[in-house]
Structure formats: C-alpha cells, structure tokens
Amino acid sequence: MDSIVVTGNGPLSGQIPIAGAKNACLTLMPATLLSDEPLTLTNAPRLSDIHTMTELLGSLGAEVSQLQDGQVLAMSSHDLNNHTADYDIVRKMRASILVLGPMLARDGHAIVSLPGGCAIGARPVDLHLKALESLGAELDLRDGYVHARAPGGLKGGVIDFPIVSVGATENALMAATLAKGTTVIKNAAREPEIVDLAQCLRKMGAQIEGEGSHTITVQGVDRLHGATHPVVTDRIELGTYMLAPAICGGEVELLGGRMDLVGAFCEKLDQAGVDVRETDKGLAVKRRSDHVRAVDVTTEPFPGFPTDLQAQMMALLCTADGVSVLEEKIFENRFMHAPELLRMGADIDVHGGHATVTGVPKLKGAPVMATDLRASVSLILAGLAAEGDTTVSRVYHLDRGYEHVVRKLRGVGANIERIKEQ
C-alpha cells in the first residue's frame, strides 16, 4: 500500500493549478443518462472516483471516453441496455446513487444498490427516495437494492426537504427535468455544485429557475439534448492548497481560484491572520506573521464553512496562538484525524461534535494513518509544518479527491514524495 513522506522544510512559493470539482463532476456525469445525445464535460479532474463513475455508467450501457489526458469526458447514453446499478460498483462510492433519478426520469424504471463510501458517519439515502416519491415514483427496498418504477413517467410535485442535502437536491433536480409539469424543490442545497449542475442541465434544454437559492423551480420538458459544459473549479482542493502557505509560510498563487467559492473560509483565514487577495489568474495566499491566531469554526451548508475543509483547518490551528473550538454540524465521526494529529504532538480534545485545539509551538513528524479523504490531506498539511519526517499511510483515500498532490506541492517547494508499494 502506497504512502507519502513529507519533511517540513520552510516557506512555500509559486503557483498551484486547481482542478475541476470532484463533487461537481460526479454529479454532472449521471446527467448523460437523461438524454440520448452526447454530453461533453471539460475541466474534468483526474481522480479514482471519476474512474468509478465511468465504470458505473459503462455498466448501464453509456459510453464514456476520456480525452486530453482525462480532462475531457465525452459521454453518450444513446443505447442504455441495463437499468441495474450493481453493488460491486456502487459500494465504492456514495455518489453512485445519483444515477437513480436520471434513469427513472428517462425510462421509468431503475434498480440501484444502496451505496457505500467513506466512513464518516451516517449519510442515509432516505431524502433521495422521498424526493422521488414526491414525483410519483413507486419504490421498493429489498435485498440491498432500491427498485424504482414510474410506469406513466414522473410527475411534477412539491419536494420539501426537512434538512438540506446536496445529493438529494441533485437527484431531485435531474429527475424533475423530465417530469410532467412543474416541480418546486424547497429547502434546496445552495452549493456551487448545484448551480453548476443546473447550468449544465439548462444547456441541455431543461427549464430551471432559482438555483443557488433555497427554492428551485423546474418546468419539465419532453426531452433533453446534448451539450458541452466546463466543470466548476474545485473549491475544496482550492481551500486545501490555500492552507499550505498559511501553515508553513511563504506565498502561493492558486490558479483558477475564485473568492465566491470560498467566502466563509476566507473570512476565517482573515481572522486567523492570513491574507487572501485576488489576482489576474486566481487567488494569492500569505500569512501576515510567523504564527496564525486561534479561531472558532462551525461547519455549515454552503455558503457557510465547508465540512470538507474542517480537517485541513484543524491542521492549521494545531500551531495557532491560543485555543480554537471546531464544531462539526454536518457529519458525525468526522474527527477521526484528531488521534493521528495527536501522534504529531498536537493538543486536541474531542467531545462529540466539538474539538478543542490548543496551539503548540511545533508539530513533530511521525508515522500516521489516513482514515478518509480529507483526513489524509490534513495530515500532509500538518507534515509540511512539522519537524522531521511524517509518513502518511493508506493514501488511496487521497486519490479519490486530489490529483497529482505530490507534484503540485513539490512545484511550490515542498519536500514530499510518494513511496510506491513494493
């Protein structure tokens, strides 16, 4: 099993290109199932999760070609010959559930395994299913599969989510595009990935209003056509690399970065003593002094502080002046990186959904183990600021969400290498 070795070696300097968003691309890819015409995505990230979605779509009869070194995905679903998403593929990634709405909307039936994914607490699919039932779907759960039918096609309706759910909003939005009549999605997620999906669906001929707000209205159409769409910048990769110079000094420019994607995150960086400024090519980041200040962080749905940046922010606050409190309100069990940071000399006390972090003068390199995608990169960030070597094992998690992490950090002066499994 591969590992990554990081040796703290001082300030960073240079540029890091930011890829297209993993979470956006994984949502856009199933949209090809809504039409028998080609859908082409540009600025696609090159990640293992994208390969998994490619495998899933291929198993359903869709054609997916990776062009331009994988940064362009050319897809066609003109001949869907299977409507069962098997457990063997779906178990690898929770985003697999997003094929359910499109298949049901287009052909009136689908069988999809309940999904798997990384273990960061309960992320049930009941909101997805209730949304589809609001559009007239008949659902039966048996043997670990969702058996869905809409013999007369889906019908517009009112979907009122009890809590905000990004994935359920995406599934409902795609299904509603081909439903007969008007669908109103209330308490919809507002994430940039939702806006990106709506923009792509509109290019395909969908009639959508209100994306980016808590109420989205969809007027169903008879069919969707092909389109070409660029995947939005990955705000989580952006925020992750913004923390690199904040942790170990120097100044780094994030190419393609946009302030509107990371507004709440930038506010916390400013409070901590980190400057973020817009450039012609993206965002430049530099801390104002040798140490950052402690800040309190609460994760919230967009436009709040992203849960997917909580682990990385904790790594920064491990060496801040003062005491910080991080509150995780999105997912349970998402402080699994804390014990690994303790191995590096951090002072962290976790109680339920709260973590109290008391800054220490310096972290120490140590062997640590990645427990999930964001935890893995938080340990790499901590290693950039630690004395000695930090060896991060189980980095296969990293490959699901960060392309060329070693190359990108080396490009700004980090001492980092990937050790291949013998």
CATH 3.65.10.10 for the 22-230 domain, yes or no: yes
Burial-class residue 317 by CB neighbours within 10 Å (0-12, 13-18, 19+). Answer: buried
Q: For this structure, is 118 an active site residue?
A: yes
In this prediction, residue 120 carries a pLDDT of 36
Q: Does 399 belong to an annotated binding site?
A: no
Is 73 annotated as belonging to a binding site? no
CB 78 within 8 A of CB 36: yes
125 is in an annotated binding site: yes
* 94 assigned binding-site residue: yes
Partnered with residue 3 across adjacent β-strands are 393, 419
**Burial of residue 142, with CB atoms counted within 10 A of its CB: 0-12 exposed, 13-18 middle, 19 or more buried:** exposed
Q: Which residues pair with 110 in a beta bridge?
A: 148
pTM score > 0.75 for this model?
A: yes
Asked if the model's pLDDT at residue 123 lies above 70, the reply is no
Query: What 3-state DSSP class applies to 369?
Result: strand
Residue 367 CB-half CA count within 13 A: 3
Percentage of residues of the chain with pLDDT beyond 90: 88
Percent of the chain with pLDDT over 70: 98
Same CATH topology for 3-18+233-419 and 22-230?
A: yes
Residue 351 has pLDDT above 90, yes or no: yes
Q: Which of 25, 118, 200, 248 is catalytic?
A: 118
Question: Cα dist. 120→6, 165, 399 in Å?
Answer: 25, 16, 17
Positive or negative torsion for Cα 122, 126, 131, 137: positive
**Intra-chain end-to-end CA distance of the chain, in Å:** 8
Asked if residue 169 lies in contact with residue 192, where contact means CB atoms within 8 angstroms, the answer is no
List, for residues 61-101, the tens digit of each pLDDT value.
Answer: 999 999 999 899 999 999 999 999 999 999 888 889 999 99
Q: pLDDT tier at 116 (50, 70, 90 boundaries)?
A: low
CATH topology of domain 3-18+233-419: UDP-n-acetylglucosamine1-carboxyvinyl-transferase; Chain (3.65.10)
Q: Which residue has the tokens 């019908």?
A: 155
Residue 123 marked in a binding site: yes
Q: Binding site annotation covers 286?
A: no
Position 65 scores a pLDDT of 97
Rounded distance, CA 181 to CA 21, Å?
32
What is the tens place of the pLDDT at every residue in 249-279?
Answer: 999 999 999 999 999 999 999 999 999 999 9
Q: Is 102 annotated as a binding residue?
A: no
3-state DSSP: the chain helix, strand, coil percent, rounded to 5?
A: 35, 30, 40
Structure tokens at 98: 């997003």
Q: Which two tokens stand for residue 366?
A: 């140590």
Q: Is 42 exposed, middle or buried (0-12, 13-18, 19+ CB in 10 A)?
A: middle
Average pLDDT on 37-61 reads 96
Annotated domain spans of the chain: 3-18+233-419, 22-230
On whether 23 is known to bind a ligand per the annotation, the reply is yes
C-alpha span between 325 and 219 (Å, rounded): 44
